Amino acid sequence: MPTNHNRPHAPRVGVWIQGALGDIATTMMVGALAIRQGLNSTVGMVTRIPPMDALDLASLDQLVFGGIDIKPSSLRESALAVHRSSRTFSHDTLQGVLPGLEAIEADILSDRDFSWRLRAPHDNAMPLADVVARMREHIRAFRARHALDHVVAVNLVSAEPRAPESDALQRLDAFTAAIAADRKDLITSSMCGTHAAFLEGCSYINFTPNAGAGFPAMQELAERERLPYYGNDGKTGETLVKTVLAPMFAWRNLQVMSWEGVNMLGNNDGATLHDPDNRVNKIHNKESVLKEILGYNPHAGVDINYVPSLGDWKTAWDLIHFRGFLDVPMTMQFTWQGCDSILAAPLVLDMVRLSEFAARHGEHGAMRHLSGFFKNPIGVNEMAMHLQFDMLTQYARRHLRQAGKKEIGGSVA
């Protein structure tokens, strides 16, 4: 049994990252080290506000990072590149964490064989069964090397094209058969990563717009292995604001006629999403939140444009055209200028802590209390941010009650 939560010491928690050299992954590791060393505060982490801060969550000191990527690079290089292109962390922070990043380096593997295109499945010769076996070996070795009590797998790979509908997505036996038959036209690389993670007893978070654990075959496996999971597609910018603002229009009976959004970003994610095949899931996730909150579908368009000079700094410009009493039309516009990785990285740390906590408490299946972290939350139709946040605070309070703890202004008695 890969998970051992009965040890008397504070658990050592592995964070196994698919896409470990990307901007979010790099920023997350830089951030965790910087906070550990007292170089930066924990602002931006939801688990540091009440009542979540009163839960017995793993501390950042307990986290051990590792993972895979397809880029032939190093964590040090990735951190220098993020610093150069976006200046999101200071030179002092970077210098302070470099020795820590170098210590993680041995646990970050680069493997081109973990990449193929659904449209050109024969580009990659390694059979899927071998891909999954190798991914599993990597997780197993990581767990053994660091004597980890539990591993949380996090999907942070680039956006992938949407896999075609097939039985492989519907049933675990068909998924397993598709792996055995090397059906790279049906199965994406990050699906193999999810499969490997569940088979190795990991809890699982999918921050990407990719399939993750959002399809029945993978949920069947997670249920069989009694593991907690959640996703899809982190909610960090435009959609976050949308799901906070849209309830206001609903509560005032102001009818939204059009809600148009243009997103401009210049990081690797922006470059990947420039390809129409790669942005299908993302656009769908961004568009679908309004119907659930408003109860009708306004005219809504979402554009994603790649603007290299912006680096990791995303600009979202939204125009909301609505009408009020006597059908008078009015307009609201907002401009969101956020740094993508700085918004995303602390949420991933939050969810790693909450996933390990869930696993330690024997919880399995979809962690619906994490819905507020995602654009397309699995098994939750509620899209309004405040109600999703309530789900998280209620979850925390239930656990605090069960543990006989009282919340007092953010501390615990």
Ligand X SMILES: NC(=O)c1ccc[n+]([C@@H]2O[C@H](COP(=O)([O-])OP(=O)(O)OC[C@H]3O[C@@H](n4cnc5c(N)ncnc54)[C@H](O)[C@@H]3O)[C@@H](O)[C@H]2O)c1
Q: Other CB atoms closer than 10 Å to residue 161's CB: what's the count?
A: 17
Segment lying near ligand X (by CB under 6 A), choices 63-71, 126-134, 213-221, 349-357: 63-71
Six-digit token string for 2: 């890969």
Q: Which residue of 47, 341, 371, 376 would you call a contact of ligand X, by CB under 6 A?
A: 341
The answer to whether 344 contacts ligand X (rule: CB under 6 A) is: yes
Question: Which of 71, 405 has the CB closer to ligand X?
Answer: 71
At closest approach, how far in Å is the CB of 40 from ligand X?
19
The answer to whether 268 contacts ligand X (rule: CB under 6 A) is: yes
**CB environment 32-65: b (16+ within 10 A), e (fewer):** bbbbeeebbeeebbbbbebbbbbbebbebebbbb
* Interface mask toward ligand X for 190-219; x: CB under 6 A: x----------------xxx----------
The answer to whether 24 contacts ligand X (rule: CB under 6 A) is: yes
CA distances from 263 to 237, 286, 321, 352, 413 (A): 10, 11, 18, 28, 45
Q: Which residue of 15, 343, 349, 396 would you call a contact of ligand X, by CB under 6 A?
A: 343
The answer to whether 79 contacts ligand X (rule: CB under 6 A) is: no
Distance CA 291, CA 293 (A): 6
Segment lying near ligand X (by CB under 6 A), choices 99-107, 140-148, 152-160, 289-297: 152-160
The answer to whether 348 contacts ligand X (rule: CB under 6 A) is: no
Contact criterion met (CB below 8 Å) for 314 and 340: yes
CA distances from 211 to 186, 189, 191, 195, 219 (A): 12, 10, 7, 12, 11
At closest approach, how far in Å is the CB of 78 from ligand X?
7
Q: Mind spelling out the 3-state secondary structure of 202-223?
A: CEEEECCCCCCCCCHHHHHHHH
* Interface mask toward ligand X for 216-245; x: CB under 6 A: -----------------xx-xx--------
Question: Which of 259, 313 has the CB closer to ligand X?
Answer: 313
The answer to whether 291 contacts ligand X (rule: CB under 6 A) is: no
**CB environment 165-187: b (16+ within 10 A), e (fewer):** eeebbeebebbbebbeebbbbbb
Q: 396 — alpha (psi -120 to 50), left (phi > 0) or beta?
A: alpha
The answer to whether 86 contacts ligand X (rule: CB under 6 A) is: no
Q: How many residues bind ligand X (CB under 6 A)?
A: 34
- Closest alpha carbon to 16 in 75, 71, 66: 66
Contacts of 37 (CB under 8 A, 6+ apart): 96, 97, 100
Segment lying near ligand X (by CB under 6 A), choices 40-48, 55-63, 266-274, 387-395: 266-274
> What one-character DSSP code corresponds to residue 234?
B
At closest approach, how far in Å is the CB of 215 from ligand X?
17
At closest approach, how far in Å is the CB of 339 from ligand X?
9
* Interface mask toward ligand X for 105-144; x: CB under 6 A: ---------xx-----------------------------
Six-digit token string for 123: 């580009």
Contact criterion met (CB below 8 Å) for 21 and 376: no
At closest approach, how far in Å is the CB of 233 from ligand X?
5
Classify burial at 408, counting beta carbons within 10 Å of its beta carbon; exposed 0-12, middle 13-18, buried 19 or more: exposed
Q: Which residue of 4, 62, 70, 170 would you call a contact of ligand X, by CB under 6 A?
A: 70
Q: Which residues bind ligand X (CB under 6 A)?
A: 18-19, 21-25, 68-71, 114-115, 156-159, 189-190, 207-209, 233-234, 236-237, 267-269, 272, 340-341, 343-344
